[in-house]
């Protein structure tokens, strides 16, 4: 039996709802073989992040190299990258290999407010990683950091998407889940060829949304690995995350996880 392979370069969530754990569970659900390179270990549960322990840069590089030297990786995703050093090392390492579709989830801050990306590392992400991205998946607060804009209206979202494309990403999906709209979850896609569309699903009222961003980006990566076009992969990932939020799990005492086997 053959199977498509995907790689996630991200942080570990001991609580199992976000990070590497969410990515691997999502890949499995999509029938894609998941490989991983850990960038940081977090001591975490549904209440929040209690500690962050970065992996030494050599260890991150060695993991990515071990995977890329052996597997034909069809799509790669980055999540929590934590530091400038890790971002720079991954960007230059990926350039050594034939191009692989790259999904960047620009993870910055956990729901509880803990930093998953050092502030000084934002510049390295903009200069070194975004230019090699196939697609980047910011939520509104992350898009505000990347563009320096205050994003409120639909026009703001479109303008911010253009700025992010000008940083060098081939495409961007602006996730609307942080907007104060209780009726619908509206995401905006735009790419460097001028294609754009909005995807809307009904708002799901739940506090159990831990790992939503990771799961969405992992699903997108999985569908790309399976050979879907970028716009089809985005649409499938949107349906996947909608189902995962609708079926989210009431486990733990804080924000429960979205359901990866939805």
Of 154, 169, 165, residue with least CA distance to 101: 169
CA 119 – CA 83 distance, rounded (Å) = 9
Q: Is 214 in the site for ligand PLP (CB under 6 A)?
A: yes
Q: What is the CA 173 to chain-centroid distance, rounded?
A: 11
Q: Is 60 in the site for ligand PLP (CB under 6 A)?
A: no
Provide the minimum distance between the beta carbon of 135 and ligand PLP in the complex, in angstroms, as a whole number.
Answer: 16
Provide the minimum distance between the beta carbon of 80 and ligand PLP in the complex, in angstroms, as a whole number.
Answer: 4
Return the number of the residue (110 or 241) whose C-beta is nearest ligand PLP. Answer: 110
Furthest CA-CA distance within the chain: 49
Return the number of the residue (46 or 191) whose C-beta is nearest ligand PLP. Answer: 46
**From candidates 177, 211, 222, 256, binder to ligand PLP by CB under 6 A:** 211
Of 32, 112, 57, residue with least CA distance to 23: 32
Q: CB burial class (10 A; 0-12, 13-18, 19+) of residue 182?
A: exposed
Of 14, 85, 79, residue with least CA distance to 51: 14
CA 255 – CA 105 distance, rounded (Å) = 20
Catalytic residue flag (residue 214): yes
Catalytic residue flag (residue 79): no
H or E stretch at 74: strand 73-78
Subset of 35-54 contacting ligand PLP (CB under 6 A): 42, 44
Catalytic residue flag (residue 175): yes
Catalytic residue flag (residue 209): yes
CA 145 – CA 166 distance, rounded (Å) = 15
Only one of the segments 65-73, 90-98, 106-114, 219-227 lies at the binding site for ligand PLP (rule: CB under 6 A); that segment is: 106-114
Phi, psi of 117 (to 5 degrees): -140, 120
Q: Answer yes or no: are the C-beta atoms of 250 and 209 closer than 8 Å.
A: no
Which residue's CB comes closest to ligand PLP?
19
* Given 35, 137, 209, 258, the catalytic residue: 209
Count of residues touching ligand PLP (by CB under 6 A): 18
**From candidates 35, 134, 139, 212, binder to ligand PLP by CB under 6 A:** 212
**From candidates 54, 101, 213, 222, binder to ligand PLP by CB under 6 A:** 213
* Given 35, 42, 137, 212, the catalytic residue: 212
Subset of 62-91 contacting ligand PLP (CB under 6 A): 79-80
Q: Could you give the residue numbers annotated as active site? A: 175, 209, 211-214
Which residues contact ligand PLP (rule: CB under 6 A)? 10-11, 13, 18-19, 42, 44, 79-80, 107, 110-111, 116, 210-214
């Amino acid at each position: 039996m053959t199977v498509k392979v995907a790689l996630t370069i991200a942080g570990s969530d001991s609580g199992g709802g976000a990070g590497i754990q969410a990515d691997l569970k999502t890949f499995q659900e999509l029938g894609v073989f998941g490989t991983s390179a850990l960038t940081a270990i977090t001591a975490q549960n549904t209440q929040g992040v209690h500690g962050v322990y970065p992996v030494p840069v050599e260890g991150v590089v060695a993991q990515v190299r071990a995977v890329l030297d052996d597997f034909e990786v069809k799509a790669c995703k980055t999540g929590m990258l934590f530091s400038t050093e890790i971002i720079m090392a991954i960007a230059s390492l990926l350039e050594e290999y034939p191009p692989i579709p790259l999904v960047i989830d620009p993870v910055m801050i956990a729901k509880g407010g803990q930093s998953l990306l050092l502030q000084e590392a934002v510049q390295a992400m903009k200069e070194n990683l975004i230019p090699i991205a196939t697609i980047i998946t910011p939520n509104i607060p992350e898009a505000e950091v990347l563009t320096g804009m205050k994003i409120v209206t639909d026009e703001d979202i479109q303008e911010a998407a253009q700025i992010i494309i000008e940083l060098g990403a081939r495409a961007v999906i602006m996730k609307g889940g942080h907007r104060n709209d209780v009726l619908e979850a509206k995401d905006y896609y735009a790419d460097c060829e001028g294609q754009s569309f909005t995807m809307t699903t009904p708002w799901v009222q739940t506090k159990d949304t831990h790992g939503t961003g990771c799961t969405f980006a992992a699903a997108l990566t999985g569908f790309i690995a399976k050979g879907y076009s970028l716009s089809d992969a985005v649409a499938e990932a949107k349906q996947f995350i909608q189902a995962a939020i609708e079926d989210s799990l009431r486990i733990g005492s804080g924000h429960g996880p979205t359901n990866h086997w939805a």
